[in-house]
Amino acid sequence: MAEYWWSIEVLDAELPASRWRDAYAAALIEAAISHGAKDWNWNRFDWGVIFEVAFDDWESWTTYRQLPAVVAALDATPDPINGLLIYPGRGGSAGAGLPRRPKPHLGAGAAPLPEEPEPLIHAGRRRWEEEAVERLFGMPPSTPPGHPERIATATSPQDAGRAAA
């Protein structure tokens, strides 16, 4: 059988909600237990208190909510207009009623093998220098300066002078 949780959240106002809790906690708990509550819990926060109560069905909750002791306690909150919230489920930042199941790891949880990065500087010429020489002169960088191939492929007299040097 499923439990249906309800939350009664009381916010601080001129009087702190903890004083309201001290005055009405016994009446709320007694009424809940005598009308079929399966579980209950109080939570204190900086901004107020939350009374969480679980019933087996909707009818038990509506019967509890209409009891004179419960109505009187809710009417006596520090701010019954803006400081009283009643909603289904656990209160505050409670999340799911059941714990989350762990999801299976993708790829059996294995991490990829570390790869060694390529070195940025090679012995001798750097790769970007070799690519620049190829782009400028249209030949592999291993051609020595002054080589006839270098001079023949120069596109301007300035390039020819640089190729010969």
- 58-83: pLDDT as tens digits: 899 999 999 999 999 999 999 988 89
Segments of the chain assigned to CATH 3.30.70.100: 4-88
**The domain at 4-88 falls in which architecture?**
2-Layer Sandwich (3.30)
Mean pLDDT of 33-50: 92
Token couple for 98:
């059941």
CA distance 83 to 77: 8
Q: Whole-prediction pTM value? A: 0.55
Say what the pLDDT of residue 147 is: 58
Give the CA distances from residue 24 to residues 19, 71, 133, in Å, rounded to whole numbers and listed in that order. 9, 11, 87
How does the average pLDDT of the chain come out, rounded?
Answer: 78
Secondary structure element (H or E) that encloses residue 31, with its range: helix 17-34
Higher pLDDT, 10 or 126: 10
The number of helix segments (H) and strand segments (E) in the chain equals: 6, 4
